[in-house]
Amino acid sequence: MKLQVIVGSTRPGRATLSVAKWVAAEAAIVEGAEVELVDLQEYGLPFFNEAISPRYNPDRQPAPEVQKWLDKIAEADAYVFVTPEYNHSMPGALKNAIDFMTYEMKHKPAAVVSHGGVGGARAATHLKEVLSEATATIIPSGVQFVGYVAQGGLIDEDGNLDETIKANPYGPQGAVTGMLADLKWHSDALAAARN
């Protein structure tokens, strides 16, 4: 399973990067997983500006930075999107990146890890709806971090989870283990079906 962990925020000092590092480290433990951290900040995508919907434009010629993003997404078999919650939704940069996609995620599983005041639950719900329209297969299980992740000491900048939090089998550690198992199962099944 080629798994991409997508960092869904581009803000300076974002806690999302720390959470994504933790997810990537946990995913690397999964047997048969090849994990890559994909940071939206590294792509410099413009605001979506194509005159014709990408899915319906046979003569589409994406800008180089957009094509780089699309090629990267197409490489994976499965995805974990890590998102904060901004104003009851995902960050605009993440929605914008998805708007450029056509069928790169078709029949590939995607899960969501979120953080924010209510665990990023509203952002996760909205993101799952958007990802389903982007033709991904949505995995119901996910991980939610309630509150201020980095400032609250739940995780450090290297992606190390607080030991007290890690010891709770009903917290993020247990949730990520279950989510990754679901993702691997779906990835294997869907890869076989695609082939």
Q: What is the pLDDT of residues 92-119, one digit of tens each?
A: 999 999 999 999 999 999 999 999 989 9
Closest CA to 22 of 164, 169, 108, 150: 150
**pLDDT for the residue 153:** 79
pLDDT for residue 162 is more than 80: yes
Instruction: Residue 148: give the domain boundaries.
Output: 2-194
Mean pLDDT of the chain: 95
**pLDDT for the residue 117:** 86
**pLDDT for the residue 61:** 96
Closest CA to 99 of 136, 126, 131, 128: 131
CA distances from 18 to 74, 108, 132, 136 (A): 24, 25, 26, 25
Percent of the chain with pLDDT over 90: 89
Say how far apart CA 114 and CA 126 lie, in whole Å. Answer: 11
Percent of the chain with pLDDT over 70: 98
pLDDT for residue 43 is more than 80: yes
**pLDDT for the residue 87:** 95
**pLDDT for the residue 147:** 79
Q: Are 52 and 45 in contact (CB under 8 A)?
A: no
pLDDT for residue 152 is more than 90: no
pLDDT for residue 150 is more than 80: no
Taking residues 58-77, report their average pLDDT: 97
pLDDT for residue 169 is more than 90: no
Q: Are 33 and 23 in contact (CB under 8 A)?
A: no
Structurally, how many domains does the chain consist of?
1
* Residue 168 belongs to domain with CATH number: 3.40.50.360
176-182, long-range: CB < 8 A, 24+ apart: 176/22, 176/23, 176/26, 176/113, 176/143, 177/26, 178/141, 179/80, 179/111, 179/113, 179/139, 179/141, 179/142, 179/143, 180/26, 180/27, 180/30, 180/33, 180/111, 181/30, 182/111, 182/139, 182/140, 182/141
Give the least confident one: 59-63, 90-94, 153-157: 153-157
- When pLDDT is cut at 50, 70 and 90, the band that residue 12 belongs to is very high
**pLDDT for the residue 161:** 92
